Amino acid sequence: MSEQKLAGTVRTEFGKGAARKARVANQIPAVIYGHGAEVMHILLPAKATTLAVRTANALLEIDVDGESHLALAKDIQRDPIKQIIEHIDLLTVRKGEKVEVEVNVHVEGELAPGANVFNQEANTVLVAADATNLPETITVSIEGREAGQHILASDLELPAGVELLLDPDTMIINISESIVQDLGESAAPEGDVVPEAVEN
């Protein structure tokens, strides 16, 4: 995965008011930390940053006052209603360094003919991989599989250099027969039902 370049500036004002002011100016407050270095508070361009982190585990090359920082977005805080990015925590990484990341599981293929369904028990898996070569997704094929079969973490085909950090027996996909509920209709009463007369 090639790194995406962003230009950052050092953040000098703090607090909710300053953060709101930054967002109005189309900037996103962020911090860069890791490797024992002092935490750096910066501002990033909102539009370019939002586009850059659309991909999970995006590798960012951030230029701050002429100094380059290679980083991964570890935590992205969004407005619960507007879904705009309010703050980003960035972890400093180095080329050749292995990092732990959650990778999305992508399911492809069709089950064997019949009333079969699959349930995805895990949407992500924890792996260790080179910071500059992180997988965007891990693909799982369910092609031709039948009810009663399942796919465990140990069955996943990982890209070269990627190490699974999950219990190998963790269920990823479970395949079963679909349950068809017979709602039916209430049996119609035989003949006409005549209400009994009520004497006054």
With a cut of 70, say whether residue 199 has pLDDT above it.
Answer: no
CATH number of residue 23's parent domain? 2.40.240.10
Check pLDDT > 80 for residue 153: yes
Q: What global pTM score does this model have?
A: 0.71
Q: Is residue 195 part of a domain?
A: no
80 and 56 within one domain: yes
Residues 10 and 39 occupy one common structural domain: yes
Pick the closest to residue 68 from 56, 76, 60 (CA basis). Answer: 60
Name the domain count of the chain.
2
How much is the pLDDT for 125? 93
Q: Which is it for strands 163-164 and 124-130: parallel, antiparallel or unpaired?
A: antiparallel
Kindly report, residue by residue over 102-114, the tens digit of the pLDDT. 999 999 988 888 7
Contact 9, 57 (CB under 8 A): no
Are 15 and 59 part of one and the same domain? yes
> Pick from 43, 68, 93: which residue ends a domain?
93
- Asked, for residue 189, whether it belongs to a domain, the answer is no
Q: Could you tell me if 80 and 104 lie in one domain? A: no
The model's pLDDT over 90-103, given as tens digits with 9 standing for 90+, comes to 999 888 889 999 99
pLDDT at 87 over 90: no
Same domain, 32 and 76: yes
Same-domain check for residues 8 and 74: yes
Phi and psi at residue 142, to the nearest 5°: -110, 15
Domain of residue 140: give its range.
99-177
Could you give the count of Cα atoms lying within 13 Å of 19 in the half-sphere of its Cβ? Answer: 13
Are residue 108 and residue 160 in the same domain, yes or no? yes
pLDDT surpassing 70 at residue 191: no
Q: Pick 8 or 151 by higher pLDDT.
A: 151
Do 9 and 89 lie in one domain? The reply is yes
Statement to judge: residues 79 and 126 lie in one domain: no
How far is Cα of residue 90 from the mean position of the Cα atoms in its chain?
A: 17
Instruction: Supply the mean pLDDT for the chain.
Output: 83
